[in-house]
Amino acid sequence: MLDGPAVGTLPPRTAGSAVTVRRTRPDDGLFGPASVTWRVHLEPVLWVGGFRALLLQSLHPRVIRATYQNSALFDPRRAMSRFQRTVEFVGVRTYGSSADVERAAARVRRLHAALRGHDPDTGETFRIDEPPYLLWVHCAEIDSYTDIALRAGVIDEGEAEQYLAESVRAARVVGLRDAPASRAEMREYLRRTRPVLRLTDEARIAVGGIFAPRGQAPTATKVAVPALATLAMATLPRWARRMYGLPGIPTTDLGATITLRALRLATSLLPDAPAPPDIERARRLVRDRPRKRLALATGSKVGQPG
């Protein structure tokens, strides 16, 4: 269910979590160094967006029930390895070549096509790859990343619009053709979807697992995850916080925004953590862009005096 942020640092790898992805490098894939997407997802503060996405996704009864019925995320012994695979998929989707993206996406589409969920309210069995459910997962993810990036100061309003426009490429990877392409379209989608959202027993279990991670999670993860999830909960829309039984008051929004900005400042002072080759390459290309633009403007070569 959850798409992790594919930021510059990954959770510690756990036993049995290895994923082998055959990589090629003929192109920059869906986005590239000129995109807002690369710049946003290279920010460590986006991990808060990943947890916000999970909390928001969990409020859709059929999505969370299908996840509960099919996913290792609810097995504390396997949750971290399942989360690791999800993060690695998002990393390929964000930074991989076109061939890498299609290969990873085809695997996910095959997996989803084989899975079914059961709705105890209606007695119906449903496919988890039906467009309404895929669209909710996608929109909860993109809305969360946009919200965190804006409030942390990673992007401005214009860049947020560009991020939404770019996000439709990620939606097409899982077979969606009508995902929101602007902030106005996203707000309208969330408004239309709110009547079907509510807190279920399955959502309570999922959220409980976030705030009290068990199983193979390293000690550092067990300490960091609840703190990040607490901040993520405070960044949810007020109506979503109320569904979780929390106050939806403006002071919570202000406090969360201040904390996000402080967290981004703190992480910016730290050296980059080791990352997979695609992320390291993305870091380098994004950092090189200002120098290349200056070189083009002055007619000089990068790295040489004009």
Q: What is the pLDDT along the chain (306 residues), one digit of tens a residue?
A: 644 444 443 333 333 333 333 444 458 999 999 999 999 999 999 999 999 999 999 999 999 999 999 876 567 666 666 667 777 888 999 999 999 999 999 999 998 899 999 999 999 999 999 999 999 999 999 999 999 999 999 999 999 999 999 999 999 999 999 999 999 999 999 999 999 999 999 999 888 888 887 766 677 777 888 999 999 999 999 999 999 999 888 889 999 999 999 999 999 999 998 888 899 999 999 998 876 554 444 555 544 433
What residues pair up with 125 in beta bridges, in sequence order?
A: 118
Gyration radius from the chain CA atoms: 19
* 46 CB neighbour count, 10 Å cutoff: 23
- Convert the pLDDT of each residue in 35-53 to its tens digit: 999 999 999 999 999 999 9
pTM: 0.84
| Amino acid 306: pLDDT | 35
- Convert the pLDDT of each residue in 102-118 to its tens digit: 999 999 999 889 999 99
Query: What residue segments make up the domains of the chain, in order of their start?
Result: 36-270
d(CA 39, CA 282): 9
